[in-house]
């Protein structure tokens, strides 16, 4: 049982940076695409995502 837990932890330790990188790339791609759109053409979900993303970035940098 301990060996299974160790393998699981090792897998997570390897996969987490990769998943974080994928999430960062996806957010950056989304921001590039929405920056090219006219604000009035954006959906409510896109507007909310951009606002929350900007807020999260400002909290992290403060």
Q: How sure is the predictor about 59, in pLDDT bands with cuts at 50, 70 and 90?
A: low
The 10s digit of each residue's pLDDT in 41-52 is 778 887 788 788
The rounded distance, in Å, linking the Cα atoms of 22 and 27 is 9
Q: Is the pLDDT of residue 25 over 60?
A: yes
Angle formed at CA 22 by CA 28 and CA 32, multiple of 5 degrees: 15
List the chain domain ranges. 19-61
Of the ranges 9-13, 21-25, 35-39, which one carries the lowest mean pLDDT score?
A: 35-39
- Cβ–Cβ under 8 Å, residues 53 and 31: yes
């Amino acid at each position: 049982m301990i060996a299974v837990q160790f393998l699981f932890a090792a897998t997570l330790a390897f996969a987490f940076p990769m998943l974080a990188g994928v999430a960062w790339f996806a957010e950056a791609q989304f921001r590039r695409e929405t920056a090219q759109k006219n604000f009035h053409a954006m959906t409510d979900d896109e507007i909310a995502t951009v606002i929350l993303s900007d807020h999260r970035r400002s909290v992290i940098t403060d």
